[in-house]
Amino acid sequence: MMKKLFSFLPFVAAFLVVICSNPALADKYADTISVFKKSETVQPFFNQSYGYAVFPTVGKAGMGIGGSYGTGLVYQGGKVTGETSLIKATFGLQLGGQAFSQMIFFQDKRAYDEFTSGEFEFDASASAVAITAGVQAKAGTEGATAGTSAGPATGKQAKTAYHKGMATFIHAKGGLMYEASIGGQKFSFKPKN
């Protein structure tokens, strides 16, 4: 069994590379931000947050062993302050693949500084709110909880608040994945030259 899991690892890595290897152009970031701004739940965060991180595409795949990967930009005051990458390794009951966009809002300078300190990891209680109808309503570092959320067309969104100075939203782009795994999203940050 373990041999099968390790033989599947190259396929997981290949999936993540294909999903995330396209260079992230400025229009991809603008398009992603536009999608999130359409959500009534997310709109107030653009006006009230100190800054935010945008990941146009995060690829996620797994079969027993899996992972997620994505690259993004960090903004403060409407200007790009640096590049960030997200990685997450997962172990446990999981099968499938998925692509999604992710935004993380920083409530204040302290949260922004914590995220941009170089290496940051969400704790086990961190979660994300899905802004479109889908199978994943909560995606946290302790795994995922299956469920659904109403999309922008319905006018009803899940309410969210900052948790430890950060609020995270995801927008499903495609794929399906069942997961009950452990692991945490880890972020790196490289300041803009």
Torsion of CA 129, 118, 89, 9, to 10 degrees: 130
The pTM score is: 0.72
Give CA–CA dist 178/193, Å, rounded. Answer: 40
Give pLDDT tens digits for 118-154.
889 887 666 777 786 433 334 444 443 333 333 444 3
List, in sequence order, the alpha helices (H) in 21-108.
26-37, 43-48
Give pLDDT tens digits for 11-25.
544 444 444 445 445
Q: What is the pLDDT of residue 88?
A: 87
Give CA–CA dist 105/140, Å, rounded. Answer: 15
- Do 147 and 154 contact (CB within 8 A), yes or no? no
Give pLDDT tens digits for 88-115.
877 777 777 888 899 999 999 999 999 9
